[in-house]
């Protein structure tokens, strides 16, 4: 019941954007009178924006930051090692001659290529870098409570990516934070003409983490354990004048072309990613498949739908080709589930039961199709594989 024809979307009882493949269950989703989602509206607006005017604004803003910085860093660039990180550093260092401090919240789930891309970017652009790594036990424990709290495995990453750059901004007294992609591009929550969401200190709590560090305190985890995920107070942010921008609001953003550019120019590397057909989004992590599969279990679509939507908007796929890819990839149970169950001590049944509680009302009574591929390679963070390899290659010498 509820499953559509081969050319159409997966669920016939959901309303989908008439131009791309995104369903009504996307967070913050609203359709215009033509039945178009906000991201599709953004992609139309993008063609009519005077990007030279916006670029001039960016130039002034960066010059201003540089003038005020004196001997301090001009700005903070939060980076993961993804293709946006390399592109952001290219724009800031090579084009605008800024001196940024690169800041990484390490979710401690890096894969080998992700680690390479991060280190490669630091070497290529000669930027100073600060990284925070939460301990393994804390990460594993939070991965478990995250599922109940927000319906995905990644609270610690959402919260850390939000909190840590702000902590550095406050402690190093660097007011300007610079992210990559515009919110109008990445999600259905805003458009270029109607930004709706502007960056403030609680931005990541609202958009991705959903729960504050204090709300994650439980019988095992104290406020002290969760302190790394605490957002600095508004007083301390205001004292420094902390504010943030997205480069994508000032320069024309084109994921595919930027990816080709950073590959060719800076030896950035792609990687196979579970749950989608593209090889460059969340490419640094071993568990993006878990994040995207839980989204599918909650909302009836995952990362492949997001990617298909982008390609449909850019004229690279037809809408029905998009639906076909989405059906194939969104429904795949990821290899990473095995690792997730191992670190949380949950059974597969407990996982699926927990996810059922987060499912949107429109899909409550539907059996979501799930495909289980049998040939499964082991997923684990690169650092653990690395430690094992070194122990093996350098056995105890008396
Ligand atoms: Zn759309």
* Runs of H (alpha helix) within 133-247: 136-150, 155-172, 183-186, 203-204, 234-240
186 CA distance to ligand 1 centroid (A)? 12
pTM above 0.75, yes or no: yes
Q: Cβ neighbours of residue 192 under 8 Å, at least 6 residues apart? A: 42, 45, 46, 49, 182, 184, 249
323 CA distance to ligand 1 centroid (A)? 12
157 CA distance to ligand 1 centroid (A)? 27
| Helix, strand, coil fractions of the chain, as percent rounded to 5 | 50, 10, 45
249 CA distance to ligand 1 centroid (A)? 19
pLDDT in tens, the chain (398 residues): 345 556 789 999 999 999 999 999 998 888 999 999 998 998 888 899 999 999 999 999 999 999 999 999 999 999 999 999 999 999 999 999 999 999 999 999 999 999 999 999 999 999 999 999 999 999 999 999 999 999 999 999 999 999 999 999 999 999 999 999 888 776 666 788 776 666 778 888 887 888 999 999 999 999 999 999 999 999 999 999 999 999 999 999 988 899 999 999 999 998 877 777 777 777 789 998 899 999 999 999 999 999 999 999 989 999 999 999 999 999 999 999 999 999 999 999 999 999 999 999 999 989 999 998 766 678 899 999 999 999 999 988 65
The confidence score (pLDDT) of residue 182 equals 85
Q: Which two tokens mark 141?
A: 């424990």
Instruction: Please indicate, yes or no, if residue 3 is contained in any of the structural domains.
Output: no
Domain containing 209: what range?
49-249
330 CA distance to ligand 1 centroid (A)? 17
106 CA distance to ligand 1 centroid (A)? 32
Ion ligand 1 — residues with CB < 5 Å: 17, 19-20, 37, 40
Instruction: Please indicate, yes or no, if residue 256 is contained in any of the structural domains.
Output: no
- Helix 136-150 with 348-356: angle, nearest 10 deg: 40
334 CA distance to ligand 1 centroid (A)? 26
23 CA distance to ligand 1 centroid (A)? 9
29 CA distance to ligand 1 centroid (A)? 10
Instruction: Please indicate, yes or no, if residue 300 is contained in any of the structural domains.
Output: no
Residue-by-residue DSSP string for 161-191: HHHHHHHHHHHHT--EEEESS-HHHH-TT--
Instruction: Please indicate, yes or no, if residue 290 is contained in any of the structural domains.
Output: no
Instruction: Please indicate, yes or no, if residue 4 is contained in any of the structural domains.
Output: no
16 CA distance to ligand 1 centroid (A)? 8
Instruction: Please indicate, yes or no, if residue 352 is contained in any of the structural domains.
Output: no
**Is the torsion defined by CA of 384, 388, 391, 394 positive or negative?**
negative
76 CA distance to ligand 1 centroid (A)? 33
How many whole angstroms from its chain centre is CA 236? Answer: 26
Q: Starting from the edge strand earliest in sequence, which strands make up the sheet with 243-246, in order?
A: 128-132, 100-105, 75-78, 176-179, 243-246
Give phi and psi for 182, each to the nearest 5. Answer: -70, 150
How many whole angstroms from its chain centre is CA 21? Answer: 20
- Helix 303-313 with 38-48: angle, nearest 10 deg: 30
The confidence score (pLDDT) of residue 188 equals 63
306 CA distance to ligand 1 centroid (A)? 10
Query: Is residue 245 within a helix (H) or strand (E), and if so which, with residue range?
Result: strand 243-246
280 CA distance to ligand 1 centroid (A)? 21
Instruction: Please indicate, yes or no, if residue 318 is contained in any of the structural domains.
Output: no
Q: How many domains does the chain have?
A: 1
CATH number at residue 226: 3.40.50
298 CA distance to ligand 1 centroid (A)? 20
Alpha-carbon span 282 to 287, nearest angstrom: 9
* CA terminus-to-terminus distance, the chain: 67
Instruction: Please indicate, yes or no, if residue 265 is contained in any of the structural domains.
Output: no
312 CA distance to ligand 1 centroid (A)? 9
């Amino acid at each position: 019941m509820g499953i559509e024809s081969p050319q159409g979307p997966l669920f016939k009882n959901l309303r989908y954007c008439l131009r791309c493949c995104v369903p009504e269950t996307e967070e913050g989703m609203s359709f215009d009178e033509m039945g178009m989602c906000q991201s599709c509206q953004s992609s139309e607006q993008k063609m009519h924006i005077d990007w030279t005017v916006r670029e001039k604004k960016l130039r002034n803003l960066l010059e201003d930051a540089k003038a005020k910085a004196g001997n301090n860093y001009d700005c903070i660039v939060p980076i993961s090692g993804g293709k946006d990180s390399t592109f952001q550093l290219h724009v800031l260092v090579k084009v605008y001659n800024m001196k940024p401090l690169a800041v990484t919240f390490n979710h401690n789930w890096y894969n080998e290529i992700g680690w390479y891309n991060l280190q490669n970017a630091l070497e290529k652009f000669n930027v100073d870098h600060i990284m925070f790594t939460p301990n393994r036990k804390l990460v594993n424990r939070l991965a478990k409570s995250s599922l109940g709290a927000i319906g995905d495995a990644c609270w610690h990453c959402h919260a850390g990516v939000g909190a840590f750059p702000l902590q550095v901004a406050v402690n190093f007294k660097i007011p300007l934070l610079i992210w990559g992609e515009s919110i109008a591009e990445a999600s259905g929550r805003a458009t270029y003409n109607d930004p709706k969401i502007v960056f403030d200190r609680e931005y990541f709590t609202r958009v991705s983490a959903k729960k504050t560090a204090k709300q994650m305190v439980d019988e095992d985890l104290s406020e002290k354990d969760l302190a790394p995920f605490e957002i600095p107070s508004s007083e301390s942010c205001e004292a420094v004048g902390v504010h943030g921008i997205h480069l994508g609001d000032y320069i024309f953003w084109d994921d595919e072309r930027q990816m080709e550019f950073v590959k060719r120019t800076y030896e950035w590397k792609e990687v196979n990613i579970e749950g989608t057909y593209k090889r460059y989004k969340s490419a640094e992590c071993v568990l993006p498949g878990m994040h995207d599969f839980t989204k599918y279990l909650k909302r009836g679509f995952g990362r492949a739908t997001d990617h298909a939507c982008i390609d449909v908007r850019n004229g690279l796929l037809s809408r029905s080709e998009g639906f076909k890819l989405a059906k194939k990839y969104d429904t795949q149970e990821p290899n990473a589930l095995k690792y997730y169950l191992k670190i949380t001590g949950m059974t597969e049944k407990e996982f699926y039961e927990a996810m059922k509680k987060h499912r949107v009302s429109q899909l409550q009574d539907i059996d979501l199709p799930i495909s289980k591929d049998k040939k499964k390679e082991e997923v684990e963070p690169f650092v653990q594989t690395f430690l094992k390899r070194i122990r093996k290659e350098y056995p105890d010498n008396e």
